[in-house]
Structure formats: structure tokens, C-alpha cells
Structure 1
Amino acid sequence: MVTVLSPRPDLWTLDPDLLHLNHGSYGAVPRRTQELLAALRAETEANPMRWFRSVAERLTAGRLELASFLRTDPAGFALVSNASAGVTAALATVPIPPGSRIVLTNHAYGAVRYAAERFARANQAEVVMVDVPLEADDDSVLATLEAALDDRTAALVVDQISSATAMVFPIRRIADLCRSRGIPSIVDGAHAPALLDAPAEDGADFWTGNFHKWPAAPRATAGFVVAEKWRTATLPLIVSWSEHDERLPERFDQQGTADYAPWIAAPESLRVLAELEWPRRRSELSAMIDEGARVVAKAVGTSVAEVAHPAATMRLVELPFDGIPSPEAGEAFKTKVSRDLKAEITLTAFDTRVFVRLSAHAYNSPQDYRRLAELLPTLL
């Protein structure tokens, strides 16, 4: 008989009176990591001078653990505040000549698109958005992107797991394609750590991913992986005392009087994942979110989105909205769900469709999705 792992909400401090169904946005930090984070901050305030003398050594130790978790070369692995910061640093590194093109897909995260637009404006370049259907398989994705690349392409920025659609892209094949065309590839892997094994090993020129999502590390903790050919040219967004350090990771470590406690505490969350038997649990969560999404979709009279390669622990349930709500209306709806239904969800939109993007982590149970299915139709 196969034993199913039990939910472990006891490892978190989440409000038990709420349904927490949106781990994919801000994550949730385990109790143990919170306690370590608080102790590190208390140590900082007890003697700031001593704390900052110790930061470099502690950062190195923590960074090496995080690089090992990703199975990536530690010499090319730096810490940044979030994936948006990593994408921005990559765009600041690659040459963007006047008249060139920065290529993205229509799955791109909004802040990443804004970053591409900023660098395009500054360099008299343009942003090209490539339409990739939700149901596109890997071959179709590759063919669509290949058709969009030309000798004017300065860089391709592509999701590994898209935020809006929870779709997994064939990054290794995309990176190989870009390399064959001499085009820098920048991978937004915001959701990839702990959802994909070795997500930074796929050969892109730049990869960045958040540890505050599925690894459940403190927020403002993300990784930035740079291929060897770009390491000398890649600089942090803030000019500080490490400006002339020849080593990429250390160049990003020292950013003035920042709060380094989240980066130092982050490996504790990896140990929590290990104790949760994460690879096995991730597989069970995938089956649970499949069933949970079907239950919610049936309750609201719609369907679960057909995504060719969905992320392990995220699913899209279409909502019966007449058109895409404005950002203000979308936020108002989420606030109403939180207030009236005691549930935390998020909405995403793609083409003309609106979805609830459901998440699952170790604190969730099947009952969470059954409860949402009972409640959500009352607001539609």
C-alpha cells in the first residue's frame, strides 16, 4: 500500500482561518526559517559593526548552499533581490544596438516586459512580442521563436515557467537555438527553483529565479546565473564597494547597508524541503492540484486550461468573466474573495481569458480546493 504524505501546515505560521491558495506570488516562509531570520536581525541590531564584519563569510556559505541546490557552477551564481532584478542586470549587460530588437513572448511577466521596454527606449531599439498559444507543444514553441529571431535580435527573454499561464517552456532547446544564431538568451526562471530539477543547467546566457516562491525562503532572495563568457561584463544594479571585484558572486554580494539576513537564512528553508521529502511531495501535490482544479472548475461552470506543459504545482481555472477586468477591478475582486470568502487567490489573464491560478504547497490539502469550490460561485 502506498503511503500519501500528510499536509504539514504546522511548519508554517499561516492563519488557519484562511485558505492559502496562492503560494506562487509571495510564497510563505516556514516557522524555522522565520525564527532564524529574526535571530539574525536581532544579532544585527545588537552590534551592527560586528554583524557587517561577518557578512561576507556568511553570505559565501549561504550562496554556496543555494548554488548547490540549483546544481549550478558557484563561480557564475550571484544573489539578487528577485528575478526582475536578475533580468534587469542581464539586459544591462548585453549589447543593444540602435535599431535592434528585444524579443519576448506574450507569456512574459509584466515587470520583465517593462524592463525590456526601458532598455529598448534607452537604446533606440524595439520590443517584439511573439504569440505562443497556451496549448503549444515544445516543437511548436521552438518553431514560433525561431521564426521571430533574425539578425537584428539583440536578445531573447523567455520564461521557464510563466507567471501568467504556469506553462513550462523548453529552455534547453531554446538556449541551443539562440546559441546557434549568436543571440543572447535571458531566462526568467522566477517559479523554477524547487519546481524543476536543476533549472539553471539548461545552457542559457543568463538565468534568474526566485527562492521565495517554491523553496519558501525569505523574500528578496533570488539567484542569478551567468554564463562564463558574460561574467566579466555583468555588474550589479547598485554601484558599491565591490565594484572592482573580479569575481561575479562577490561583486553582487556587497551592496552597501542592505539587509543580508534573508540571503543568509535562505538555506534553512532548503533543509525544511529536504525533511518534507520534496521530490516525492511535489509529485503528490501535482496530483492534488489536478483534482482540486477540476473540482473548482466544475463548481464555477468552466474548465481547467489546457496547457501543454503545466508547472508541477500550479493550475489555471477559467472564470466566467465577460472580458478581462481592469487591474483595479481585478484587485477589487481578489480583495472581496479575501474578505468575504476568507481565501487568498490570484487572477491571471491570457489573450481574452481570465483565470484563477491555483497553487499547492506542503501546507495545502484537498479540502482547501473543495472549500473554494463551495464558496467561489457565490461571488460570480
Structure 2
Amino acid sequence: MTLLSPRPDLWTLDPEVLHLNHGSYGAVPRRTQEVLAALRTEADANPMAWFRSVAARLTASRLELASFLRTDPAGFALVPNASAGVTAALATLPIRAGSRIVLTNHAYGAVRYAAERFARLHQAQVVIVDVPLEADDESVVALIAPHLDNAAALIVDQISSATAMVFPIAALVEVCHDRGVPVVVDGAHAPGLIDAPAADGADFWTGNFHKWPAAPRATAGLVVAERWRSATLPLIVSWSEYDERLPERFDMQGTYDYAPWIAAPESLRVLDELEWPVRRTQLSATIDEGAKIVAKALGTGIAQIARQTPTMRLVELPSTVDLTAGEAIKERVSRDLKAEITLTGFDNRGFIRLSIHAYNSLQDYQSLADRLPALL
């Protein structure tokens, strides 16, 4: 297998900064930025003509994005982000008074807030299931299953943002459906990391294209099982309210900026140029080694996760680091070390969550390791 070289040339990232946190906000390739800028220029040159053209362009973009996910385009709608997708799913499900909305302790904060909002609206209860980092697939299912009685829904990460842990979606869908419990999958990090991420039969799946596919931000997808499509509505009531087709119902949200959704397929073409399936495997090996370098410099270790995602690793912080000062630490690292990282906490342990894309090299992690211990 040919060893692929890093391609920072495809991005416009500041070369004076170590960009080690692609998993939060992504980074848009130069070519996609150019397409996006041209679309916005066109829109401002003749807004009337632009909005007449939007519907057809969105249809073309949706078909490409659905094909990338290997999912049925009739059940695939565009949304601004995975949090919006989860919210649309919860707004669709019949949540009975006294029922449970079940999550795990890996759930993304905004998703937990959404569950709490809908639980309040329907006099339901939010149940959080503790799942250790080290739990294998069988253990994950065994831990969640006892909490499914009287559940209105299970909301589960496909890849946890906080811990980079991959959850056994197919097995969870099976046990939930055996009990008549709908499943909402938060696949925020899944596109580009899991092939056919929406193929496991969940009632709702949602994921972001701005992370590993490197599409413009505010581009995400919502995949809806056929039984729920007629009832699933966009969060904004607009002119497509009565469209019988799910994707088109979500397309036209008034004067929303549609340019990111239309430009997104250009990033998929960049992934093709990067030989993404091969590169993803090589990036996994690189971040394995990079995480070891950083952990050794800090005198700590790497979180042992039964199923971890290819492009993210958790390096444990020294016990002397105050997790409540996390934002201040990130700002100091950015200002003093010219490095962008993120910190995460789980089960009273603090971690640096490192993530990698095609613009990174092993030297980036060595550079962080050389300078970070003195700052912490």
C-alpha cells in the first residue's frame, strides 16, 4: 500500500498553527470555499434568480450526499446540524406522559438538553445509562436493555463526541425494536468514518458533513425510516409545509443560506482525490502514534476504548490539571503554543481529544508534545 503524504495544500489553514481538533468544527478545503464563495456571489448578484434556482440545486446536492451515505434518498433530508436532526426526531415521536427517554452518559450535551426539553413538554423522564469506556458491544447492549421498559425512545451516539467510542447500533436497534422502542442515532461524527452509517435500521439517524467529509459548516443530514416520514417536519414552518415528500419538505426554509448545502458535494470530490478509504486507515495509524507521543510527554496514558473511531484518540491529562479550567487552558494553548486542541471529561477523568485529517502529520503531535507539558 502506498504511503500517502499529508495534503495541507488543499486547505487554507494558518500554517503557523497546529490544527489538532478537526472533530469539532472541521475545516473546509480551498476548492469548496471557492465554490461556496461563487454561489454566494451569484446569490447577491441576482437574489430573485438565485432563489428560483435553489430547489433544483438542492435536489442535485441531496442525491450526491445520500449516495455518499449509501442511503435511500427518499428518506434523506438536509438539516443544519446533528442537533437539529435529533430535535426534529424528538418532535416527531409520540412521547407519552410518564415514559422514558433513554440516553447514555456519552451523549452530547446539546442532545441531552433536547431530551430534557421534550421530557418536560410531555411529562416524561430522562434516564441516563452509565456505559464504561472499556465496555464491549455485548456489555453496552446489556447495560442499556434493562432501561428500555416504558421507553419512548433510545437516543444513542454512533461515535461519541466526548469519548470517541463507537456504539453497536445494529445490536441496539434490534433489542429496541423487539420491545417496540424507537431509536434515534446521533451520528454527528459518523459520515466519512463509518461506511453506510445509516444502514442499521434506526428510526432516525442524523450526522454532520462538516466534520470528516470537510463540507461547509451548517451542513448535515437526517435519515428517516419510512414509517415516520409523513409525520417528520422541519423545525421552521415555511412554504414547503405541505409537501408530501420528506426531503423537499426540509429543503426550502425561507431565506436560509443554502450555499453550504449546495457546495457540500465538492468536498466529497476532494475526499476522492485524497483516496479517502486508504488515507483513513493511514490516518488511524498516525494518530495512534501521535497520541502515544503526547501521552509519553505528559506522563499519562491513552484511554482504552473497546471500539474506537479511526481518527480520534483520548490522551489522559495529568491529575494536577483542573478540569473546571478547561476553557482557559484551551485559550492559553491557542495563544501561547499556537495549537488548537479540545479537552473533554468523562467519569471524573480529563482528556485531550486529539483528532486528525489529511492536512496533519506525525510531526504535528511531536510539536505539541514538545511544548504542552510546560504549559500544563
Shared fold (TM-score, shorter chain, > 0.5): yes
Contact residue 323 and residue 345 of structure 2 kept, 8 A: no
Residue 201 of structure 1: aligned partner: 199
Relative distance call for 1:323 and 1:143 in structure 2 (3 A) is farther
Q: Map Cα deviations across residues 106-150 of structure 1 (whole Å, 9 max, x no partner).
A: 000000000000000111111000000000000000111112110
Alignment of 1:1-380 (within 5 A): 2-150=1-149, 152-322=150-320, 325-326=323-324, 329-380=325-376
Q: Map Cα deviations across residues 245-300 of structure 1 (whole Å, 9 max, x no partner).
A: 00000000000000000000000000000110000000000000000000100000
Aligned to 2:371, the other structure's residue is in SS state helix
Contact residue 324 and residue 349 of structure 1 kept, 8 A: no
Aligned to 1:232, the other structure's residue is in SS state helix
Q: Residue 330 of structure 1: CA displacement?
A: 1.1
For residue 199 of structure 2, what is the amino acid of its counterpart? E
Question: Following the alignment from structure 2 to structure 1, what is the Cα–Cα distance between the partners of residues 373 and 352?
Answer: 13
Question: Following the alignment from structure 1 to structure 2, what is the Cα–Cα distance between the partners of residues 321 and 244?
Answer: 56
Question: Following the alignment from structure 2 to structure 1, what is the Cα–Cα distance between the partners of residues 11 and 160?
Answer: 26
Contact residue 93 and residue 234 of structure 1 kept, 8 A: yes
4+ runs deviating over 3 angstroms: 321-324
TM-score between the two structures when normalised by the length of structure 1: 0.98
Gaps of 5+ in 1: none
TM-score between the two structures when normalised by the length of structure 2: 0.99
Q: Residue 103 of structure 1: CA displacement?
A: 0.2
Q: Residue 85 of structure 1: CA displacement?
A: 0.1
Question: Following the alignment from structure 2 to structure 1, what is the Cα–Cα distance between the partners of residues 295 and 5?
Answer: 25
Q: Residue 9 of structure 1: CA displacement?
A: 0.1
Contact residue 324 and residue 352 of structure 1 kept, 8 A: no
Aligned to 1:224, the other structure's residue is in SS state strand
Contact residue 324 and residue 353 of structure 1 kept, 8 A: no
Q: Residue 179 of structure 1: CA displacement?
A: 1.0
Relative distance call for 1:134 and 1:67 in structure 2 (3 A) is same
In terms of mean alpha carbon deviation, does 2-11 or 71-80 score higher? 2-11
Contact residue 59 and residue 253 of structure 1 kept, 8 A: yes
Aligned-residue CA RMSD (Å): 0.7
Aligned to 1:209, the other structure's residue is in SS state strand
Contact residue 12 and residue 363 of structure 1 kept, 8 A: yes
Aligned to 1:97, the other structure's residue is in SS state coil
Q: Map Cα deviations across residues 311-362 of structure 1 (whole Å, 9 max, x no partner).
A: 1000000001347622xx2111100000000100000110100100000100
